[in-house]
Structure 1
């Protein structure tokens, strides 16, 4: 039995609670016991039905050596800062892979990352530390993803895509094969990247299409 504390009790923390409860009930995971949650805003905790108590604030928490931690904060503004503060105080983080996801045996998943349900992680894919691969996302063969990335639901990264650190890919976004995306970028929902992206960019554009229906001749 692995004992953990989840850092954050907002929406992502609630999802992690569900994932772990499902994994424990299914018998597909090694058992995990959630000792509790940390959050600087108790109102977050009370919005959801958690399986363990609120232990206190993130800021006031003293790192425990009898358990490990799982980051439950999806917001990249705070995710890296909190993880690095905890690591500096001696915390150890686990990697969590939902039992209903497919991860190739040749893929590499970094410490502290979360692979949500119904994800596909293809052959030779490399995912760095503390990244979140959200529900139904596909990271295809030979992709390389850095640290502290948020890959939203239904995102599709095609083969040989390279992604740096601290990027946010919105829901239903995608890449064509072989693209490079730098660091600290925001890719808006529904965007399909067909060219490389450097650093510190927001990718959003609207495509206006005129669709003409031509009736079939008899």
Structure 2
């Protein structure tokens, strides 16, 4: 089996994953992506080996999903249950020792994760975001660059917090809800909606 960590996905999010792996000094074995035009190319000097399905040729591989779309990240994680999903924390991030970071989750540069925060599986805490004390980010949730979550915020499965959005203390955002860029969440939001504005208001319901 090839040594090193594999990255699934060869888009922009994967570039940041590769940068993080390099910052940690971790060997990178290769990249998988379903775009046939990318096979044989390289991403930041890392070879693109073929489609995602070809990862099955490497039993027991260590990997991280470099795809920003929360639903696709969940689908891949569920399809490849025998993969050793690695958790990654950038050396410039501050993660309190009492915080928990689940398998496959990624904490990028310049972020802060405060005491007793808990990140589930395949969560993304993106560049410059802050997750304060006692927050809970369920599986596949994502806070994008510049998001700030105050203490005790709960993001249920698959929530997407748009760039620069904010949540005040103790609010809960329902599963697979999207909060628009720059929005301020001042009250609980239901599942499967899109909310925007200050304060954030639901503008769309979706499945």
**2:145, 2:164 within 8 Å by CA — same for their partners in 1?**
yes
Give the root-mean-square deviation of aligned CA atoms: 1.9
For 2:125 and 2:16, the matched residues in 1 are separated by 13
1:1-218 maps to which residues of 2 (within 5 A)? Answer: 3-24=4-25, 32-43=26-37, 49-65=43-59, 67-87=61-81, 90-205=82-197
For 2:40 and 2:126, the matched residues in 1 are separated by 23
Q: Report deviation, 1:6.
A: 0.4
Number of residues paired by the alignment?
197
- Structure with greater strand share of residues: 2
Deviation digits for residues 125-165 of structure 1, max 9, x if unmatched?
01111011100000001111100011100000000111110
Instruction: Tell me which structure has the larger Cα radius of gyration.
Output: 1
TM-score (norm. length: structure 2): 0.89
CA distance 1:41–1:136, shift in 2 (3 Å): same
Give the gaps of 5 or more residues in structure 2: 200-207
**1:9, 1:45 within 8 Å by CA — same for their partners in 2?**
no
For 1:44 and 1:169, the matched residues in 2 are separated by 30
Give the gaps of 5 or more residues in structure 1: 25-31, 208-218
